[in-house]
């Protein structure tokens, strides 16, 4: 077993009951989907070749440090997931908090289709996880343009910025909903998770502060885009001005994980 695999093995075993599917058969992912079952609450799902790295990031490398994050959440948290991809983060949350209510937003039809298939296959999810094929914005607009890979498979890097990734050679128009309108549908929001390839700035800066303050915890993947407002330092300072205490973990030289907890 490689050094990184040894380091991450405890995460894998805590999150996946049939962990041998990963340790012994991950080399087969180009031939067949890998099939996993979460623990302690059993949710069954498939991981194709294109989803393998997202699965590894969330369930094996423990990107969100899930045990620590859960200490800040009640047993029945309301969770909003912006940029859900195929919902692997949502499955992780629901595998630990069976009474959670998760509202997921994902603009790409292929990703939504995969997540809906998982929901349909797991009765535990059908009352606890709702997915909407929409992009989330700060300013109110009916739709936005996204730039993405020109493939028929799921995309991890769809962005509102045409130059976000050189692989994004295709553009599509998707329906949009404001974060404010989503927040106002709930008495409380315990966790906002965001992984939206640079859109985090516009969403957070353009959402009224009084709405943002209703969120107890934020878990955000932050991308360095410019030296003005769209950078980690500026976003970090803005959230602190709203009463959040923040911690930052570097992922790459241009990507960070920011966790924000409301001080009240």
Of 1, 118, 77, the residue nearest 10 (C-alpha): 1
Residues 6+ apart with CB under 8 A from 72: 216, 217, 261
If residue 171 lies in a helix (H) or strand (E), which one and from where to where?
Answer: strand 170-178
Which of the four pLDDT bands, split at 50, 70 and 90, describes residue 198?
confident
Q: Are 55 and 88 a contacting pair, CB within 8 Å?
A: yes
The answer on pLDDT for 248 being more than 60 is yes
Q: How confident is the model at residue 153 (pLDDT cuts 50, 70, 90)?
A: low
Inform me whether the pLDDT recorded for 87 exceeds 70: yes
Topology adopted by domain 64-262: Rossmann fold (3.40.50)
Q: Residue 26 above 60 pLDDT?
A: yes
pLDDT at 37: 98
**Close Cβ partners of 14 (under 8 Å, ≥ 6 residues apart):** 39, 67
Residue ranges per structural domain of the chain: 1-62, 64-262
The answer to whether the beta carbons of residues 114 and 50 sit under 8 Å apart is no
Write down the pTM of the prediction. Answer: 0.93
* The pLDDT value given to residue 6: 78
pLDDT tens sequence across 118-129: 999 999 999 999
Q: Which pLDDT band holds residue 163 (cuts at 50, 70, 90)?
A: low
Q: Does the pLDDT at position 156 exceed 70?
A: no
Rounded Cα distance between 104 and 251, Å, is 24
Supply the pLDDT for residue 221: 95
């Amino acid at each position: 077993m490689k050094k990184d695999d040894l380091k991450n093995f405890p995460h894998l075993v805590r999150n996946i009951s049939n962990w041998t599917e990963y340790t012994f058969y991950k080399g087969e992912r180009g031939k067949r989907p890998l099939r996993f079952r979460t623990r302690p609450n059993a949710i069954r799902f498939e991981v194709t070749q294109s989803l393998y790295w997202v699965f590894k990031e969330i369930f094996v490398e423990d990107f969100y440090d899930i045990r620590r994050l859960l200490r800040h959440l009640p047993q029945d948290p309301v969770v909003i997931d912006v940029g859900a991809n195929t919902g692997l983060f949502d499955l992780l949350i629901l595998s630990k908090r069976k009474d959670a209510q998760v509202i997921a937003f994902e603009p790409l039809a292929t990703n939504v289709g995969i997540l809906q298939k998982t929901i349909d296959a797991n009765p535990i999810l059908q009352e606890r996880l709702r997915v909407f094929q929409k992009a989330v914005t700060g300013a109110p607009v009916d739709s936005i343009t996204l730039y993405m890979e020109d493939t028929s498979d799921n995309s991890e890097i769809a962005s509102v910025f045409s130059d976000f990734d050189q692989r994004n050679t295709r553009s599509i128009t998707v329906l949009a909903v404001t974060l404010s309108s989503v927040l106002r549908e709930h008495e409380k929001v315990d966790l906002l998770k965001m992984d939206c390839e640079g859109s985090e700035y516009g969403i957070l800066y353009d959402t009224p502060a009084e709405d943002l303050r209703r969120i107890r915890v934020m878990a955000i993947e932050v991308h360095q885009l410019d030296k003005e407002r769209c950078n980690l330092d500026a976003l970090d300072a803005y959230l602190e001005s709203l009463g959040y205490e923040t911690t930052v973990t570097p992922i790459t030289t241009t990507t960070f994980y920011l966790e924000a907890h409301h001080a009240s």
